[in-house]
Amino acid sequence: MTNSCCVCGKPIKGVSRSIGSRQFCDYHFSRATRNSFAPGLLIAAIIIGLGLFVVVASLLASRFQEYLNGNNLVVVGIVFALVPAVLWMVAFYVLDRIEPEPKIFILGIFLLGGLLAGAVGQPLIDEFFQVNEWSSRSLGLRLLQGILIVGVIQEFLKYAAVRYTIFHSQEFDQRIDGIVYGAAAGLGYATMLNITYIIDNGGVELSIGAIRIVVNALAHASFAAVTGYFIGRAKFEDMGILWLPIGLLLATLLNAIVTLGLEMVSYSQLQATPIKGVVFAGAVSIATFAVLFWIVQRNNKAAVALVRE
C-alpha cells in the first residue's frame, strides 16, 4: 500500500517521513519542520509600524485640525482604519522575496475576517444579544459577557476564516502558517470594527482614533494567532478531537481578559489614558507572538530529531 503526503496528496516515494500519524513527502516534511524567523520579523515590523502610525496621526491631527470636520473626518478616519491592513500587505510583499507566500491568500483571509465581522459577528453581538444595553459595571458580569458572548462569537469567526478555507490548501505547509493566517483574519476583523465605529460616530478625533485602531488591530491579531497556532498543529499532527476546541477556548478567554484589562489600563482613576492602552496591547502582542513562535520552533526541532533517530 502506497502512502500519500497529507499536504499535497501525492504518493510518497522511498522512505516516508511522519509527524505522529501524518505522512509527508520529503519536500513538505522539510517545509513543515523548517525553522523560520521571517514571520516573526514581519509581526515585529507591523507592531513597530503601528506605533509610529500613532505618533504621525497625532502630529497630523494637531497640524490640520481646522480642516478635519464632517465628512472629511469620516473619510480620513476610514483611511486610517485601513493602515494596519496596508502595513500587513507591505510586510508580506517584502517577506515574499525571502519566503514565498501567496499574497492573494493573505488578502483573502483578511477580507474574509472583515466580512464575517460586519455580516455576522457584530450584528449578533450588538443587535441580537444587545450587549451594550444590558452590560453591567459588575466586573464579574462583564467578564462573563466577554467570554460567553463577545469572545465566543469573535474568536469562532476568526477560526472559521482559516479552518474552512486556507487550511485545506497546499500553501498551508508550515505549522507557523496557522499563526500568520490567523493574525491576518484578526486584523481583518479589527479593521471592520474600526471602520464601523468611525462611520457610526460620524468620524473621530484622529489622535484618539489612531490609538483605538492600533489597540484593536494588535489585540485581535494576537487572539487569532493563538487559535492559528492550534490550527497549524492540527494540520501536521494528530492532536485529538479536543485540540481545536481547547485552542478556541483559550483564545476566547484571552479575548475577554485582555479586553477588560485594556479598559482598566485606558481609564485610570476616572481619567482617560489611551496611550497606556497602546503600550499594553503592544506588550501583549509581542509576548503572545514570541511565545507562539518559540513553541513552533521547539516542536519543529523535536520532529526532526525524532526522524533522525
Helices 152-163 and 103-116 pack at an angle, to 10 degrees, of: 150
Q: Whole-angstrom Cα distance, residue 54 to residue 301?
A: 38
Q: Whole-angstrom Cα distance, residue 127 to residue 298?
A: 44
DSSP 94: H
Helices 206-236 and 38-63 pack at an angle, to 10 degrees, of: 170
Q: Which of 237, 167, 174 is nearest to 21 (CA)?
A: 237
Compute CA distances 157 → 88, 114, 117, 250, whole Å.
20, 10, 8, 15
How confident is the model at residue 27, as a pLDDT? 83
How confident is the model at residue 136, as a pLDDT? 65
CB-neighbour burial class of residue 158 (10 A; exposed 0-12, middle 13-18, buried 19+):
buried
Q: Whole-angstrom Cα distance, residue 280 to residue 18?
A: 40
The residue whose grid cell reads 460586519 is: 118
How confident is the model at residue 23, as a pLDDT? 84
How confident is the model at residue 210, as a pLDDT? 85
Strand partners, 268: 271
pTM of the model: 0.89
In 20-178, which ranges are E strands?
22-24
Give the chain's count of helices (H) and strands (E): 13, 4
Is 165 within 8 Å of 112 (Cβ atoms)? yes
pLDDT in tens, the chain (309 residues): 568 888 888 888 777 688 877 888 888 888 888 776 677 777 788 888 888 888 888 887 777 767 667 777 888 888 889 988 888 777 766 665 555 567 788 889 999 999 999 999 999 999 998 887 776 667 778 888 889 999 999 999 999 999 999 998 888 888 888 988 999 999 999 999 999 988 888 877 777 888 888 888 989 999 999 999 999 999 988 888 999 999 999 999 999 988 888 877 766 554 557 778 888 888 888 889 889 888 888 888 887 776 655
Compute CA distances 263 → 39, 90, 216, 284, whole Å.
30, 31, 12, 14
Q: How is the chain split into domains, by residue range?
A: 1-32, 37-308
Q: Whole-angstrom Cα distance, residue 155 to residue 162?
A: 11
The residue whose grid cell reads 460620524 is: 202
Compute CA distances 202 → 78, 116, 225, 250, 270, whole Å.
11, 23, 32, 35, 25
How confident is the model at residue 170, as a pLDDT? 85
Dump the DSSP string for 195-221: HHHHHHTT---HHHHHHHHHHHHHHHH
How confident is the model at residue 117, as a pLDDT? 97
Helices 175-200 and 274-308 pack at an angle, to 10 degrees, of: 160
CA-angle at 188, arms to 231 and 112, nearest 5°: 70
Count of Cβ atoms closer than 10 Å to residue 183 Cβ:
35
Q: Whole-angstrom Cα distance, residue 304 to residue 252?
A: 32
How confident is the model at residue 115, as a pLDDT? 97
